[in-house]
């Protein structure tokens, strides 16, 4: 079986722990940073590093899809402007990492437990800086779109977000801000309109 060449990712990638970092190093060549789990919450020097990097380049965030991963992702989002973050999500897959004797609290695999092929597919779109920049900075999707399409701010919007997120392979329970940040990278405006069941529209930047 041929060994696939590692992806050259030009953006820093934030993961939770050292085993996540080791897993990604099998797949990508990039600056991979760890939060040391919840350690980030009390480490001002690491927060300053993340902020400084975000002033120079977009940053990819790839935490586990459990509750702890969501808390860490939310904390990172409080440190860095949303337009500088690229949120990626691993699927919720039941299982246990080989190095552990027992499953995690939620019984799902973290980043370190993902197959190399899955991580390769997840990260391969971000090896092309021009494509990422176009999606992030030229996409006219705004939060008002999510409101108008019933994905935020109304009764039942959380359930509709879960259904919509599933269409993109994103986890359930995403906040409006987290879903918006992901959509800015994952979809063109026309693709968003199609997915949400709205007639395609042309929307120009102001």
The reported pLDDT for the residue numbered 78 is 93
pLDDT at 135: 61
Q: Catalogue all structural domains in the chain, each as residue range(s) with its CATH number.
A: 10-128 (3.40.1360.10), 139-206 (no CATH)
Q: Does residue 57 have a pLDDT over 80?
A: yes
Per residue in 177-203, pLDDT (tens digit) is: 778 877 876 778 888 999 888 865 545
What span, in angstroms and rounded, lies between the C-alpha atoms of 125 and 24?
15
Host H or E run for residue 8:
strand 7-8
Question: In angstroms, rounded to a whole number, what is the distance separating the alpha carbons of residues 202 and 123?
Answer: 28
- pLDDT tier at 176, thresholds 50, 70, 90: confident
Which phi and psi angles does 85 have, rounded to 5°? -110, 140
Q: What is the DSSP string of 186-201?
A: H--HHHHHHHHT----
144 pLDDT higher than 80: yes
- Distance separating alpha carbons of residues 119 and 187, to the nearest angstrom: 19
Question: Which pTM does this prediction carry?
Answer: 0.69
Distance CA 105, CA 119 (A): 23
**pLDDT class of 206 with cuts at 50, 70, 90:** very low
In order of 21, 66, 69, 108, the CA distances from 42 in angstroms are: 21, 21, 16, 26
**What is the sign, positive or negative, of the torsion defined by CA atoms of 50, 30, 8, 165?**
negative
Find the helix packing angle between 129-138 and 176-186, rounded to 10°. Answer: 130
Phi first, then psi: give them for residue 18, nearest 5 degrees: -65, -30
Question: Counting beta carbons within 10 angstroms of the beta carbon of residue 52, is it exposed (0 to 12), middle (13 to 18) or buried (19 or more)?
Answer: exposed
């Amino acid at each position: 079986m041929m060994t696939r060449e590692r992806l050259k990712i030009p953006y820093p990638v934030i993961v939770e722990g050292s085993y996540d970092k080791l897993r990604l190093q099998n797949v990508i060549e990039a600056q991979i940073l760890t939060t040391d789990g919840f350690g980030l919450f009390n480490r001002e020097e690491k927060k300053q590093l993340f902020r400084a990097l975000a002033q120079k380049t977009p940053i990819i965030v790839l935490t586990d899809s459990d509750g702890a991963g969501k808390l860490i992702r939310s904390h990172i989002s409080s440190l860095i402007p949303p337009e500088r973050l690229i949120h990626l999500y691993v699927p919720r897959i039941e299982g246990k990492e080989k190095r552990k004797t027992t499953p995690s609290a939620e019984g799902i695999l973290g980043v370190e437990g993902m197959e190399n092929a899955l991580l390769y597919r997840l990260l391969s779109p971000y090896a092309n800086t021009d494509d990422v920049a176009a999606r992030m900075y030229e996409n006219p999707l705004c939060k008002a779109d999510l409101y108008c399409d019933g994905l935020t701010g109304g009764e039942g919007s959380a359930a509709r977000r879960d259904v919509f997120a599933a269409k993109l392979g994103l986890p359930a329970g995403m906040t409006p801000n987290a879903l918006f940040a992901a959509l800015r990278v994952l979809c063109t405006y026309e693709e968003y309109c199609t997915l949400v069941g709205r007639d395609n529209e042309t929307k120009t930047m102001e």
